[in-house]
Amino acid sequence: MPANPEHAIAQSRAFSLYLDRLLTARPEQLALLQARLLHPFDTAEMAGFAPWDTLDSPEDMSAALRRLRQAVMARLITRDHNRLASLDEVVSTISQLAEFAVQQSLASACRALPQYGQPTGEDSGEVQQLIVIGMGKLGGGELNVSSDIDLIFIYPEGGETSGPRKISNHEYFSQVGKRIISLINDVTLDGQVFRVDMRLRPYGDSGPLVMSFPALENYLLTQGREWERYAWIKAKALTGDVAGLADMVRPFVYRKYLDYNAYGAMRELHAQIRREVARRDMADNIKLGPGGIREVEFIAQVFQLIRGGRDKTLQLRSTRATLDRLAELRLLEPAAVAELQEAYAFLRNLEHRLQYLDDQQTQTLPASEENQIKIAHSMGYQNWPAFLDALNTERRKVTRHFEQVFILPTETAPDHPLSCLWNDIGEQDPSPQLTALGFDDVPGVTGQLRALAQSQRYQQIPLAGRKKFDALMPPLIEVSTHFPNPAATLSRIIGLMEAISRRASYLALLTEYPQTLQRLATLCSASAWVSTYLTRHPILLDELLDARVLYATPDWPTLAAQLEQQMQQSDGDIEAKMDTLRHFQHAQAFRLVAQDIAGMWTVEALSDQLSMLADTVLDATLRHAWRDIPSRHTDTPCFAIIGYGKLGGKELGYASDLDIIFLYDDEHPDATELYSRLARKMSTWLTSATSAGILYDIDLRLRPNGASGLLVSSLQAFRNYQEKQAWVWEHQALTRARYVAGDSTIGKGFETIRHDVLTLQRDQDTLRSEVLGMRQRMLESHPPHEHDVKHARGGIIDIEFIVQYLILAHARQLPAFTGNTGNIALLAVAAEAGLVSHALAEQGRSAYRYYRKLQHAARLNESSKVEVNDTLRQHYQQTQALWLQVFGADSLT
């Protein structure tokens, strides 16, 4: 804080020729500055600066706006030089001034045209308002102090004015636009408010000054170029229909998919800037030169263009806010963002000091020694060399991070050693090279590669995409040889490449991030299921970019919170919510399979993780599907989801369906209808095929009375059914059931019912007969085979039936049996209770683990059969011995 305003002002005048001239010529500005120096210049003060509504003549409005700008600049220069104003205050104040000037100029321009009346929409019949769009730093609220302002003029509808002299809306708004430009841009004795640049409008200088909504929409749809997407990121409606403009522009800027083509487009735009910088010898330009302001903006905005359509939290206008969000999402390392923020602040503060010198729109370092000393001192350095050292340090930081983000793409790298093999696949015999590379099925690989190169799908790839495709194939052929099954690995990769061949964004992803090729091949080599899953959901290629994220152990509460945030972004859009759920589930499942292949999980631990994923998705689906029922009588439904089977027992695999039932406990007269509607809606959300695929297949047949029963049951009706009507096999199913999602009170009520039912007194002979009868019926529908570890005698189902029988027969005396702790743990409980021998129980536990491991490995390679060997046969025999001990000598057929 300065000792006194006079000293602070004197210091600032020494640094700024503009300020010194202004205060000398206008003593009233000096008095105002002295009185208000310690206060930021906010919009309330701007509004009270002049009687704006009564300034009827353009001359009076013009003069008032220029005097306001002088007052704002005088205070900003002095506050900034004396460390009273932060960078955020400087850029927001000058942006607010520009927005205020536009709004006052629009009002003045309309007041000056009373003879035309009001412009009226030809379709709506409503009065039309001009929408003035602020582009670039104005839209982002980040103007520099001597900036020009980029504007675009839009109006909603065609039509004509309502006054005695009717003209078309287009003519009317053209006149208004010209008056706005004149009021802000013209240089008068009082100077200028801002230079106005209209070149960002559709068709540039050759386009009309104003354009209707439909014309703008058609332009963006049919002629909008990649650099215009970049420009429209920061677009802000300063007047008029803000929401309508956003709805129109958002789909143009932000794609629904991950758009990695943005890298190439922005790299080319940057190259054009670099060429211009070199041609004009602009290395000292801190905006456009190497390591300058524009490179920081490009880093932030390329991530917005790529991901903003999928993650609305990236749809920001401010560069600094975007950088912070990138750090939160770990799309950039927090340490990198901290360096970029520091460099950006340094460069923007320097930019302002360069412009304070003489109120010139410059970003070039001064050539004169006098101004160099002023700049160095105003930036806090003793001399020019010390300042240059600091500046170069910050610019090197920016350049380093820019080059890491905009890494040299494969398509511009030197030719790969295998380029000739791929490019000449149709004319030359690749067998010698493929053999030398170690491929195990050279004829098969040759045939696949030739079939791919000659396929109609490949031939129809657009030229730009074909270049990327051709650049990717050689390294993909090479990377396949790093694995013990190179032919199978390459075959799976080829299947994926065929699927994405016309999806330029995915080709761009693999091109821009060559390190993903090794990860891709690792997964494809290990699992046919993974390659099929990727082919079906190529958006998951994005998961390969960051190994830290790919192999991070799931933190389910955090992931659930992230899912909820993403769901809230799609409020009001059911299809978007359904796709959000699918993208989340697919991404988490893909991360788990990558971790699985890397050896991070046992089969049991992996199933726990997949079950927690299902629980998380079911919980989110329930809550958001309920919000989509308009007639709901409460914000929180008295409703719960109960999981059976693999979900209930936490033994889910990657492609498992979900056995679930729905319970409610609500006295509302319409409860059954409301919750039935919720259940139907949830079923639709879970099983419908959208553009993002499906979530889960679900099976609701375990509900009371099966497929013929009500879709939902009250808690009391469920108790009554289980105690009085349920078959023994339904009680067997209940042994593996658990509360999954929804109202936890209902969940506790279910657990109580489950305990009570499992501990019912039962006649053991009758129970044994019922259980054996059910097993026999299953054997008739699924004849046992050794290669089928699920249905084989002595296999998975036999162990499950043993455990279920022991629970139903003995839970009344052994409460430990009522815990849903899994078959392996419950066999140990049975042995401790003396119901089976310790040796047989341990053999059964070992067999169950072995079966699940075999089953899991088979499913990873899309097989329903396992390899039969002596170890498997031994486990079958030991499990059969356990079966005979539990059910008796006559029970094994």
- Which residue in the block uniquely carries the two structure tokens 């899953």? 533
Query: Distance (Å, rounded) from C-alpha 625 to C-alpha 214?
Result: 35
Tell me what pLDDT residue 279 has.
Answer: 67
692-704: pLDDT as tens digits: 999 999 999 999 9
Would strands 210-212 and 149-155 be described as parallel, antiparallel, or unpaired?
parallel
SS3 category, 630: coil
pLDDT digits (tens, 9 = 90+) for 109-139: 999 999 999 999 998 999 999 999 999 999 9
Confidence of residue 317 (pLDDT cuts 50, 70, 90): very high
pLDDT in tens, 608-655: 999 999 999 999 999 999 999 988 999 999 999 999 999 999 999 998
pTM: 0.81
Helix (H, G, I), strand (E, B) or coil at 652: coil
Would you say residue 3 has pLDDT above 70?
no
Q: Which among 598, 590, 736 is positioned nearest to 654, based on CA atoms?
A: 590
Portion of the chain with pLDDT greater than 70, in percent: 98
Percentage above 90 pLDDT, the chain:
81
Question: What pLDDT, in 10s, does the model give residues 577-618?
Answer: 999 999 999 999 999 999 999 999 999 999 999 999 999 999
| Cβ count within 10 A of residue 56 | 11
Matching residue, tokens 């899912």 = 563
Q: Quick check: 405 and 337 in contact, CB under 8 A?
A: no
Sequence-ordered alpha helix ranges (H) in 379-485: 384-405, 419-423, 431-437, 442-454, 456-459, 463-480
pLDDT band at 177 (very low <50, low <70, confident <90, very high): very high
Domains defined for the chain, CATH in brackets: 261-406 (1.20.120.330), 410-545 (1.20.120.1510), 578-758 (3.30.460.10), 761-887 (1.20.120.330)
pLDDT digit string, tens, across residues 399-435: 999 988 887 554 445 688 999 999 999 888 999 999 9
Q: Please report the pLDDT score of residue 277 as a whole number.
A: 67
Task: Please provide the DSSP assignment of 93-153 as one string.
Answer: HHHHHHHHHHHHHHHHHHHT-GGG--EEETTT-PBP--EEEE-HHHHTT---TT--EEEEE
